Amino acid sequence: MSKKKGTILIADDNKGVLDSIRLFLKQRFENVLTVADPGLIPTVIRNENSDVVLLDMNFSAGVMTGNEGIYWLKRIIEQDPSIVVVMITAYGDIELAVKAMKEGAFDFIVKPWDNKKLYATVNAALQLRQSRREVAKLKNQKQLIQSDANKHFKIFRGTSPEMNKIFETISKVAVTDANVLITGENGTGKELIAREIHRMSKRSQEIFMPVDLGSITETLFESEMFGHVKGAFTNAEEDRTGRLESASGGTCFLDEISNASLAAQAKLLTALERKSITPVGSNREIPVDIRLVCASNKNLKTLVEKELFREDLFYRINTVEIALPPLRERKEDIPTLAESFLEQFKTKYGKHHLKIGRAAHENLQSYQWPGNVRELKHAVERAVILGSNEVILPGDLSLGDDKVSVKPGYEQVSLREAEKKAIQNALYTNRGNISEAARQLQIPRQRLYRKIKKYDLEVPLN
């Protein structure tokens, strides 16, 4: 006879009752615990993540009012409203048991009990607990989906050879459950690619769970990713389902995974290897089934070499890598992208006759787009909002303010891009020697440090 999964806690001051019920139930349920002191109930519930509590109506000798049972019933429900409580009562106290049910108890068993009745009651209580957990999980998923649905995501395939190759790769990998790592500069559309993989996968009808690891502090990492139980830490006022559990059955997208600390990486790797998570404050492992897609704007191989990223995690998440090229390397996509964004914002702002003029298109083509597709989208939206004519002009795009004058035949470069390239060249020329690079650039070392941080540049190893 296979045991049912769940933790049953029996609270009674009578050792004979405890041993008898435990002996019967432990043959049918995975984990059966007992306490004779009701004061231990809150601690056991918190540490063992109990599902069902069998609670005696009276603990003190000679007291038959049932007030103790009602008191601890309220304490249990207050601590965890989803726990199911079954009262244990003597035959003459059935009226008290009914009163307890009005206070939130699920059912009651009468001493001496019938084993079939006992098993049926505990089994029904466990099923109710599992149903309550599922409802909480679905409620959390619904909130996340509704929040996500407020965003507008539209995939653009592009006409450039680079993007055609990428979508050929997507079509092959999407139908599998292989883990995918998407790399590229900020604003290249990594989340859009992740969503397209999900849309084309066998999990497309399940949840797509985006998680920005750059916005999760290390102290909250476990709670956010694995969830927590009520009372696990200060302000943990109710059970919370973690992101990985909420994503179970669907796709979990971990954006900017390079921002995760080494400690967080280790915990994430363990969860991926075991295919299960343990909420904070709980000892129970919860199985999860996710398709993992990760993204990074940094070179993870370099971070592995510098021991800033775990090599075992890198290979775990990197079954297939998709490298998105920056927009400046696929300029043939710019006109169609711009027109696509124009259609979106014309409808949004009610400017249905607006067009992008030839001069504006030339301006779009000559610009280097350090912010990539995201910057292009914002530029078009800004032009639609601020443009006063039926044709968008170069000035409406606000791209010319940081241009440097160049001779005809030479590519235009923004001041930002020129400075970034100059610093990159100095760092590589001097093999990562900050002092020498600063001397070559004729700027103080502290300013160079600030520039490196500003442009998120990689410092070569000496």
pLDDT in tens, 314-331: 999 999 999 999 999 999
Q: Tell me the C-alpha distance between 89 and 99, whole Å.
A: 12
Looking at residue 21, its pLDDT comes to 92
Cβ partners under 8 Å of residue 325, min gap 6? 162, 163, 184, 188
Lowest mean per-residue pLDDT among 37-46, 132-141, 186-195, 376-385 = 132-141
- The number of domains in the chain is 4
49 plus 187 within the same structural domain: no
Distance of CA 64 to the CA centre of its chain: 51
Same-domain pairing of 271 and 355: no
Does residue 139 lie within any of the structural domains? no
Residue 418's pLDDT band, with cuts at 50, 70 and 90, is confident
Q: Which helix (H) or strand (E) holds 276?
A: strand 276-277
- pLDDT-derived band at 430, boundaries 50, 70, 90: confident
Residue 142 has pLDDT above 80, yes or no: no
Ranking 73-77, 137-141, 167-171 by mean pLDDT, the lowest is 137-141
Do 183 and 273 lie in one domain? The reply is yes
Whether the bond into 112 is cis, omega within 30 of 0 = yes
Residue that wins the pLDDT comparison between 10 and 218: 10
Same domain for 36 and 122: yes
Ranges 40-54, 74-88, 90-104, 332-346: which has the least confidence: 90-104
- Does some domain include residue 137? no
* DSSP states along 194-246: HHHHHHTSTTTTS-EEEEEGGGS-GGGHHHHHHEE-TTSSTT--S-EE-HHHH
Are 313 and 353 members of one domain?
A: no
In the predicted structure, residue 406 carries a pLDDT above the cut 50: no
Q: Is the pLDDT of residue 417 over 80?
A: no
One domain, residues 338 and 453: no
Residue 382 pLDDT > 80: yes
For residue 409, the model assigns a pLDDT of 43
- What CATH number is attached to the domain comprising 69? 3.40.50.2300
Which amino acid would we find at residue 303? Answer: L
As a whole number of angstroms, the longest Cα–Cα distance in the chain is 102
* pLDDT for the residue 91: 63
- In this structure, the answer to whether residues 38 and 180 fall within a common structural domain is no
* Residue 145 is assigned to a structural domain of this protein: no
CA of residue 6 relative to chain centroid, distance: 27
List helix spans (H) across 262-351. 262-274, 300-305, 311-317, 334-349
In a domain, 141, yes or no: no
Average pLDDT score over residue span 226-238: 83
- By CB neighbour count within 10 A (0-12 exposed, 13-18 middle, 19+ buried), where does 334 fall? buried
Query: Residue 214: CB partners within 8 Å, gap ≥ 6?
Result: 255, 256, 259
| Cβ proximity of 54 and 122 under 8 Å | yes
Q: What is the DSSP letter of 51?
A: S
* Segments forming the whole domain that contains residue 32: 4-132
Question: Which tens digits make up the pLDDT trace of 329-357?
Answer: 999 999 989 998 899 898 888 888 899 99
E-assigned strands of 278-427?
286-287, 291-296, 320-323, 355-356, 391-392
Do 293 and 375 fall into the same domain? no
Residue of 432 and 16 predicted with greater confidence: 16
Of the listed ranges 161-175, 216-230, 403-417, the least confidently predicted one is 403-417
Report the C-alpha gap between 14 and 112 in whole angstroms.
Answer: 13
Mean per-residue pLDDT over the chain, rounded? 85
- Tell me the two tokens of residue 120: 């049926």
pLDDT class for 69, splitting at 50, 70, 90? confident
Q: Which two tokens stand for residue 8?
A: 């049953």
Alpha helices by DSSP H, 52-209: 67-79, 94-102, 115-149, 161-173, 190-199
Of residues 412 and 6, more confidence is placed in 6
CATH code of 414's domain: 1.10.10.60
Query: Quick one: average pLDDT of 228-256?
Result: 88
Query: Which pLDDT score is estimated for 437?
Result: 82
Q: Provide the phi-psi class of 34: left if phi over 0, else alpha when psi is between -120 and 50, else beta.
A: beta
In this structure, are strands 286-287 and 276-277 parallel, antiparallel, or unpaired? antiparallel
Q: What is the pLDDT of residue 150?
A: 44
d(CA 397, CA 361): 10
**Residue 73 in this model has a pLDDT that exceeds 70:** yes
Average pLDDT for 368-377: 91
pLDDT band (50, 70, 90) for residue 407: very low
Asked if residue 75 is part of any domain, the answer here is yes
The CB-side HSE value for 405 (13 A sphere, CA atoms) comes to 0
- In a domain, residue 312? The reply is yes
281 and 247 share a domain? Answer: yes
In 3D space, the residue among 256, 259, 260, 258 whose CA is nearest the CA of residue 268 turns out to be 260
Using alpha carbons, list the distances in angstroms from residue 227 to 152, 233, 274, 285. 28, 12, 16, 11
Report the pLDDT averaged over residues 133-148: 66
Q: Are residues 270 and 257 in the same domain?
A: yes
The confidence score (pLDDT) of residue 110 equals 86
Does residue 313 sit in the same domain as residue 184?
yes
Does residue 146 form part of some domain?
no
Query: pTM for this structure?
Result: 0.58
Mean pLDDT of 370-387: 90
Q: Are 438 and 353 members of one domain? A: no
Q: How confident is the model at residue 136 (pLDDT cuts 50, 70, 90)?
A: confident
Could you tell me if residue 142 is inside a domain?
A: no
Give the pLDDT score at 414.
Answer: 62
Contact 267, 222 (CB under 8 A): yes
